[in-house]
Chains A and B, each alone.
Chain A
């Protein structure tokens, strides 16, 4: 169990996520329905419902440093099924945006392996650069 310090400065970082996504993070009451329906939850460091809880406690960095926003497929199943009407996919998008705005490339053309380049369809490169680079 790692330790978590809830501090005022951390909580202020959440306001940016709220502003960009337009979603009320505090609405979440931890029912877990987003995680149960997520097709890529099994590949995530932090599952969507836990990500929501971390955000409520001001741990923006913990979530945006994890693979979670990048593994997210933006399939919107979570957003459609959320009983409190939270667009969780929009929050994931906000987290990606915030990271990309620091001039961070999640995919770099030069770092893609030779064999991957051969088997992946061109559309995958297009969408990856669209979604995961500034």
Chain B
């Protein structure tokens, strides 16, 4: 600040949140005595409209060139007051927040005198900081009006349709051979009992026919470079050995393939060939060859590796022979990398179920008639392997009784995950109802800890299932499940009667915890977005920015963030699409100018800052041997400035000088 400082200090009461502990009048009076402060006042709610007017008027009247607002956390109202300053003609980056609520009045609730003295110290330190604040102007960056959506489940489908309908291009990348995601596995959906064939497949068809959507199934994101508005993405189209443009989906090849591999779509309950289609509703309706299982592909690989000699005739070419469209080529991998430019990315990678093997006391993976809930969905689905009448895996008999086990891995911080998977109570009630429809003389039991049914129509649905006697509820967590003859024995309890309970049953369904897909960590690293302790993608703010990540231009939707049902997933997907459309509605995007900058006179090009940067925003200019900050990528975290041994790297408006002066003020009495 070259000119003489004229700083205003505005102390907020925050109702009684601050004023109930801190003597705000005294804080304002003490602030007035500070060198450079020309105005100070208090107001009951500074963030209210009249409160903001107080700030605006003072800026104009007293010709302020710096403003300190003593109130709540900057994450709440920094923007509010920077906008107010801008309206009054002051550069918004001349405004700083002194947090006297979260860091003063709340933690020191019972010691008002100490709190008041601390508030005065915090305000004094912030005044020192503002004295050296500079004027900055936000950057403008161009925006490529196309979006990459990772994951073709119901979240990705909904977001893709919303963005595409608004007239922008969408690249929808899905790792499996079809879009549809986990929803397509389901028999029916709670609480309306719509089948996914009725409500999801029309959306899938819309995706494949939409002129603005580039559908890339059997593909994975290879790398992501660039920044908000300008991402360069490399996408790997995995080797499918089938030309998707030629394949007609006739299924001739599926019938001749001699290989038997576990069918993922039926959770391994049935077999499929090495060449297969994900299911009858697959979009696109094409076959793919599974490299892992195909005899010919593996033979050709060994030939290439020099392990065996090439043969004149192929080892197996049954599928190639029957393919009238001439779409299959097993001799050559058709893997390729496609590059696209997009302005925004929506990550909708969904969830997996916890492996049953992690629950050995429940016989997971050991007892054949203990299955997970997605497998039971397949047994209940009219399109599934048993045409909707469940038959148990061990002997194909129709189970006369089924025990449903809630919280198998959920709400179990010792053996599984601490959180509630949110959908199990509901789908178990639904599964019990469908089971009773298929097997009217069957019995269904559910061991639960709490019934969580907090959605529209959910509680009514659970009570309907209960009243119809479709499901007998037992309140207690199951302790052990084991095989006894051709029966499965469940040891549980009912704490409502205070009894230990033993049930001999035909089939057990475990509501295993929803967990993040194993590949998510790698993808998050490519995207430079954080995950939480479990591996779910972290949102920028749980309450107020649930669809954004901390990396600008990257959004999240659906169960990739945390377990959620279809209703919430679709809402979030449309929300994320709206966020993207907000970006695309602007000709240029504004970026915060509070980023790192290098003093090129001092920088020795040691590269420590580059290693620290979580956003890949720093490169070393080999010629000049200095660090260069990419301002569009920098998020202004300050890690580089902290690590710089020479002080060449600094964060704007939080320079070393500013920090040291603040510390001096705060420690002068020690």
- Spell out A's residues near B (CB within 8 Å): 1-6, 8, 11, 24, 26-27, 29-30, 49-50, 53-54, 56-57, 59, 84
Contacts and interface: CB of A to CB of B under 8 A. Distances in A.
B659 interface: no
A84 B466 CA distance: 11
A29 B496 CA distance: 11
Contact of A3 (B466, B475, B499): B499
Nearest to A28: B466
Given A2-B500, A6-B472, A30-B475, 19 more contacts: A3-B502, A4-B497, A6-B445, A6-B474, A6-B501, A8-B401, A24-B467, A24-B469, A26-B467, A26-B468, A27-B463, A27-B466, A29-B463, A50-B496, A50-B497, A50-B498, A53-B494, A57-B472, A57-B474
B469 A26 contact: yes
B322 interface: no
A14 B626 CA distance: 83
B503 interface: yes
B443 A11 contact: yes
A24 B466 CA distance: 10
Interface in B436-451: 443, 445
B503 A3 contact: no
23 contacts: A1-B493, A2-B500, A3-B499, A3-B502, A4-B499, A4-B500, A4-B501, A5-B503, A6-B503, A8-B443, A24-B467, A26-B466, A26-B467, A27-B467, A29-B466, A30-B475, A49-B496, A50-B497, A50-B498, A53-B496, A54-B497, A56-B472, A57-B474
Interface residues of B, dominant DSSP? strand
Contacts of A50: 496-498
Contacts of A54: 497
Given A6-B445, A30-B496, A50-B496, A57 B466 contact: no
Contacts of A2: 499-500
A59 B493 CA distance: 14
Residue of B468, B499, B500 contacting most chain A CB atoms (<10 Å): B499
B466 A1 contact: no
Contacts of B467: 24, 26-27, 84
A49 B497 CA distance: 9
B649 to A, nearest CB: 62
Nearest to B400: A8
7 smallest CB-CB distances across A and B, nearest first, come from A4-B499, A26-B469, A53-B496, A3-B500, A27-B467, A53-B497, A6-B503
Contacts of A59: 497
B37 to A, nearest CB: 61
Interface in B496-517: 496-503
A1 B499 contact: yes
B463 A4 contact: no
B502 A1 contact: no
A57 B475 CA distance: 11
B497 A57 contact: yes
B399 to A, nearest CB: 13
Contact of A57 (B463, B468, B469, B501): B501
Contacts of A24: 467, 469
Contacts of B498: 1, 50
Interface in B95-153: none
B473 to A, nearest CB: 8
Contacts of A8: 401, 443
B355 to A, nearest CB: 29
A8 B504 CA distance: 10
B135 to A, nearest CB: 64
Max count, chain B CB within 10 A of own CB: residue among A6, A26, A29, A50: A6
A26 B472 contact: yes
Among B463, B493, B497, the one with the most A-chain Cβ atoms within 10 Å of its Cβ is: B497
Contact of A5 (B445, B475, B497, B502): B502
A29 to B, nearest CB: 6
A50 B498 CA distance: 9
B443 A1 contact: no
Contacts of B497: 4, 50, 53-54, 57, 59
B432 to A, nearest CB: 12
Interface in B367-394: none
B165 to A, nearest CB: 43
A25 to B, nearest CB: 8
B491 to A, nearest CB: 10
A63 to B, nearest CB: 10
Interface string B619-646: 0000000000000000000000000000
